Amino acid sequence: MTVRGIDVSSYQPTFDAKGKSFVFVKATEGRTYINPQQRAQAKRARDAGAVVGFYHFLWPGNIQAQAEYFVEQCASVPYDLLACDWEYTGDGTAASNKEKDQFLKAVQKLRGSNHRVLLYCNRDFWLNRDTTSFAADGLWIADYNGKPGKPGIKAPWRIHQYTSEPIDTNIGNWEDKAALVKWARG
């Protein structure tokens, strides 16, 4: 697989997108946080020719409000990828499986015609917390197993985040960047 990418948050105001097929940028979290770097980060990725995605860090509760906040505040343009980051929050809580599904469906309803929507979670969440296997248009799985493209799950996946060193690094399950672009455009 030659489709490689990274994901960044405000902690990486600058990064090298050269040669990357895709770059995901953290846009929002909960109902109050907006990444102040997201527009500049998305521009850096676009200028390098990467497919751009944005993600929302999901908190428990107020799911519809979080979905609306995400799609209103992220700097997306048509055919950018949109993702739900489902993991433990800073205070040790996590949205339920039902809330994760509600968020994904709400984002699909709000923006689905021009955006693919993905679920990001780690292998533990996918295998031990998820009960529906609903990942909207694709699963982005984190498994730092040292085996890029082999995330240790049986479910179909689109993106495998396989390390966080020196930056969150991913491999995409597409034949090449052209196939990724075609998929993003539906």
Handedness of CA 157, 110, 69, 180 (dihedral sign): positive
CA–CA gap between residue 112 and residue 82 (Å, rounded): 9
- Across residues 39-45, what is the average pLDDT? 97
* 146 has a pLDDT exceeding 80: yes
Indicate if the pLDDT at residue 2 is higher than 90. Answer: no
Mean pLDDT of 5-13: 95
* Range 27-35 average pLDDT: 97
Confidence tier at 1 by pLDDT (50, 70, 90): low
Task: Round to whole Å and give the CA distance between 166 and 35.
Answer: 20
The pTM is what? 0.97
Q: How far apart are CA 84 and CA 90, in angstroms?
A: 16
pLDDT of residue 181: 97
> 70: exposed, middle or buried (C-beta count within 10 Å: 0-12, 13-18, 19+)?
buried
Contacts of 153 (CB under 8 A, 6+ apart): 123, 126, 127, 141, 143
Contact between residue 142 and residue 155 where contact means Cβ atoms under 8 Å apart = no
- Which residue, 3, 66, 1, 74, is CA-closest to 30? 66
Query: Mean pLDDT throughout 29-53?
Result: 97
